[in-house]
Structure 1
């Protein structure tokens, strides 16, 4: 990736992670992955079925216009943006990557979601299980000049994440975003297998202990998902990340205390 590497990432939340969400988190995070957004007819129909059973999804009339407008809305913020995309077919991913490249944004191929509706049409975890197909998506996006991230899930039967990391690296990905699924040591396996990939660790990132664990295993950054709307969590994680990297660079850590916006008490365990 060009520029300063992100150290704290906001992970996409279906139907919630939009430009306003990214702007709210920009005080602490370096990169915000908006979306996920369903791009093609198959994935959009699956998203409609998810909405019908009370899940939150983005279903704008034109998903590419949505991507363009949302990224443009963050042009004056310090946070770098990206868009998590879901598709059963390659060409819409290529088109979304073109839009992301125009905004110097990351395009994140979603090989992570495990909802049955998405998997049945070939999205999410189904894509993770078919490495050749996943690499075709990555290559198409990379050819458009976008920085490509791949969001994956650990502990999927029959999937060797270390091998997947090597393959998507060769296909043109620059970020590998791993939901560790309580298998935190998989981060070390991936870091060893694909040292050139920028590795973002996700799942349960809440405090200094979780940040330290993931970074000790070789992650380059951590991401926060569900608590990304809670400034108390983001401040704790930001301070822990800054302390970690400052210590390793031989510099004193700078305090990141700020005046927090009022937030209701919530379960952030």
Structure 2
């Protein structure tokens, strides 16, 4: 899906084209966003901003996605965009924009902020596999490769089952925030034939290798994605791991 197998993970209100360009030397993919697409998620994002969280709130979110992806057309990373939506109509429109740029559409089933969950996005959609599958099918049929960002340790949610559901619906990848349950990555790997990106606490050789040992196809770096020393260390660890795998 991308090489090197290091991704820059989306940071709401921060992960834009400039951020992707700055981290591109050590990454194979950049997940821009997240961006709220429809009325419900945009209202939730405004409430988040009101309590001092950083969010992208452009007047036209589809045009914003288009401009940001166009701005990294010359950057040697696989482009991707993390989106929040309660409607498949908005998901479809964003997926078409992503498809035009050869970008991955990433569905956010990850956000745990109360405002976003109350709107019916984030973890709320993670708890509703039929609705999540409908978004995946819609985006996939619109022509974009689909990733789903998920979170471990959500009560009542079996990520292995989620992986199987979205695989059947047409997803290409699953982006797992493992929280403090790193071994859940192995459960996801065993459950479906998806490209598995592991996230949370990836800072260097030891943390990257732990996820790779559980079977992850790639790792992603979140908060320190603007730190070239961290990115360099993770890139070296991942490159070494897959070089050893090929030589075995």
* TM-score class normalised by the smaller sequence: over 0.9
The higher-RCO structure (CA 8 Å, 6+ apart) is 2
1:65 to 60, 63, 66: 63
3-state SS of 2:171 partner: coil
Structure 1 gap ranges (5+): 252-269
Looking at structure 2, the residues matched to 6 and 107 of structure 1 have their Cα atoms a distance apart, in angstroms, of 19
1:92 to 90, 93, 97: 90
1:103 to 101, 109, 118: 101
3-state SS of 1:249 partner: helix
The question of whether the paired residues in 1 share the 8 Å contact of 2:3 and 2:27 is answered with no
Partner of 1:266 in structure 2?
A: none
Cα deviation, residue 80, structure 1: 1.1
* Count of aligned residue pairs for this structure pair: 248
Partner of 1:43 in structure 2?
A: 41
The question of whether the paired residues in 1 share the 8 Å contact of 2:178 and 2:200 is answered with yes
2:14 to 16, 19, 28: 16
1:117 to 115, 118, 134: 115
Looking at structure 2, the residues matched to 6 and 175 of structure 1 have their Cα atoms a distance apart, in angstroms, of 16
1:248 to 220, 245, 248: 245
Within the alignment, does 1:197 sit opposite 2:194 as a pair?
yes
Structure richer in helix, relative to its length? 2
Cα deviation, residue 90, structure 1: 1.1
Larger Rg: 1
3-state SS of 1:119 partner: helix
Report Cα offsets for 1:70-111 as digits up to 9, x if no partner. 000011111111000001111101100000000000000000
Looking at structure 2, the residues matched to 77 and 43 of structure 1 have their Cα atoms a distance apart, in angstroms, of 29
1:215 to 206, 212, 233: 212
- CA-based RMSD of the aligned residues comes to 0.9
Structure 2 gap ranges (5+): none
Q: How does 1:154-233 map to 2 (within 5 A)?
A: 154-194=152-192, 196-233=193-230
The question of whether the paired residues in 1 share the 8 Å contact of 2:83 and 2:108 is answered with yes
3-state SS of 1:113 partner: coil
